[in-house]
Amino acid sequence: MIVDCAHYLGGVRQHSGPLGIETAAERAKEGDGFVWLGLHEPDETELNQVGEAFGLHELAIEDATDAHQRPKIEGYDGSFFVVLKTARYDDDKEEVEFGEINIFLGVDYVIAVRHGAASALADARKRLEGRPDLIEVGPAAAAWAILDKVVDDYEPVAAGIENDISEVEDEVFARSGDPTQRIYFLKREVIEFHRAVQPLIAPLESIVNGTVVELDDTIRRFFRDVADHTRRVDEQLHDQRDLLEGVLQANLALIALHQNEVVRAISAWAAIITVPTFIASVYGMNFDNMPELNWDLGYPLALLTMVIAVVLIYRFFKRIEWL
């Protein structure tokens, strides 16, 4: 589905409504300005139509159709294919939702194919349209606007995960439940998020250094800013992984400590029960030559001995904090 499609010339959008695919391709081939086409979860037929109209490489079309690619930048005959992973934090579910944006970047066009709900690009387009000086740079400016939007959306996700980690830390040390499963899910989210962020660092640094493509100094500074934000998020994720590992180890240690406390309590009660059981078993033997059996005070003395022994052993285990 086409979300928006515009032709930009002289730093200005040339029309209000979205262009059709064929019209956009014709404007791009004229060589004046560039076209920015935005698609959301297109089907294979629509992608093939775009590919034929703009002359996109078949392998790039295939990757965009699958929509399960790792972040990367690939060159195809003077054009580039970029894969970005998007992320959105769901406060209600306390989960991270991941999506994908595929960018086809040529000398006179930018085609963004978005999969998933995260990182809608309407704000990125509106922001760029407010900067005619950047639009005049060409398709690289649109690519920056998309990258900047995606990376900016990473920061609230990282903040949401940070808040979840703080909550699970409190839960661990408050010993209010068993947070092991939640810790595991958080670790999995952080790892998946790291897989979305980390592969962007090297390509962005290559772009900033001019290794991949030569950029105008005007737009290079903006790409450098995106690269800095990406590195900052990546470092934050490294810290979160280490912190979660520490929380998991602390949780396991507290579980082991609790188990030890239970075992000690069981052992203490077993020891307490053993003494009266021993006394009762001795005098429960029906031998003839047991003079205590004929004492008038034998029974109360046996009970008193049991009570005194139980009290003394109980106080001993209380003193050493086994009970």
Lowest mean per-residue pLDDT among 3-12, 19-28, 128-137, 177-186: 177-186
182-213: pLDDT as tens digits: 888 888 889 988 988 988 888 888 888 877 67
The pLDDT value given to residue 213: 72
pLDDT value of residue 110? 93
Q: What is the pLDDT of residue 112?
A: 93
85, two tokens = 């992973």
Cα separation of 154 and 194, whole Å?
10
The pLDDT of residue 63 is above 80: yes
The overall average pLDDT reported for the chain is: 86
For residue 311, name the pLDDT band (cuts at 50, 70, 90).
confident
220 has a pLDDT exceeding 80 = yes
Give the pLDDT of residue 231. 92
Q: What is the mean pLDDT of residues 44-50?
A: 90
The CA dihedral of 307, 310, 314, 316, to the nearest 10 degrees, is: 110
E strands, the chain, in order: 2-9, 12-13, 34-40, 72-76, 79-90, 95-105, 109-115
Q: What confidence tier does 102 reach under pLDDT thresholds 50, 70, 90?
A: very high
CB 18 within 8 A of CB 7: no
> Does residue 304 carry a pLDDT above 80?
yes
* Strands 72-76, 34-40: pairing kind: unpaired
pLDDT tens digits along 274-296: 888 888 887 777 667 777 777 77
Per-residue model confidence (pLDDT) at position 145: 93
pLDDT tier, 260 (very low <50, low <70, confident <90, very high otherwise): confident
Specify the DSSP class assigned to residue 294: G
Q: Nearest CA to 38 among 117, 98, 125?
A: 125
Q: Which amino acid is at 160?
A: G
Hey, what domains does the chain have and what are their CATH numbers? 2-254 (3.30.460.20), 260-319 (1.20.58.340)
